[in-house]
Amino acid sequence: MTNFDRIYQNALKEIMEKGIEETNRRTGHKTKAIPGLTFSFDIEKEGFPVLTLRKIPIRVFVAEQIWFISGSRKPEDFLRDYTKIWDDFTNPNDVVTVAYGYRWRKHFGRDQLGKLVELLSNDPSSRHGVIVTWDPTSDGLGGSNKKNVPCPFTFTVNIIGGKLHLHNVIRSNDMILGCPHDVAGFALLQCILAQKLGVKPGVYTHTVSNAHIYDVHYEAAEEIMRRTNDHKSIVLDLPADSFKRAEEKDQSLADDIINGLSSQYQPGEAIKGLKIVL
């Protein structure tokens, strides 16, 4: 197994064995949950974190992250060619009002992602590289009935020791369907930013305030915890100018990254019938 597989298995085991089971009022589902889950790994040393214990769709997180970097909020704009994952969250104008990339680049009247690149280009030692997705004027605190508010709500980027490190903070993570997707997606963002800034990717840290497994996923969690394999680490070979090409929604960039990862990917069997709880 890869190191990320071991980390993920240990997280599931902790939740299933030590998590508190309660019923979530909004969804009506029971969950087992723990607070304050955090794990880290070094991408350069340990490889790119694509879960191999079960098959996950590589094309989805790759296309989604490119869509984020572009700052778009319409799935019809590039993303829907690869996945319809955001279609449940569009308004009648086919707009995702809480699209992460739009909030990183336009929503607050400031291109946070562009400013991050500018900041760390001029001062690699800066500790001000914070990107915020959460809008306190409308998100959370009972201020909205919308079912989609940002889960990964902020991340911080630092360059330490010539490597770019990313700390992703998530308010709520569905550990079966959400976590593997989020880890791979934000690790891809980390690698793209590192390439743009001329450094190597370093430590990815994933912090979850509420790490939970839904009752409809208990059997899947137990199955994943039993699995093992001999999968070697996966190496991400980024095409040149990935940040700029992502901004331009270059379809060949997505295809090259997907093909490069897929050629190394030999996962365990997919677990069928996993339902997203909205």
The catalytic residues are 151
Alpha-carbon gap, residue 20 to 77, rounded angstroms: 41
Alpha-carbon gap, residue 203 to 243, rounded angstroms: 19
Burial status of residue 25 (CB atoms within 10 A of its CB: 0-12, 13-18, 19 or more): exposed
Alpha-carbon gap, residue 80 to 246, rounded angstroms: 15
Question: Residue 176: which of 44, 54, 2 has the closest Cα?
Answer: 54
Percent helix, strand, coil in the chain, to 5, is: 40, 20, 40
Q: Is 71 left (phi over 0), alpha (psi -120 to 50) or beta?
A: left
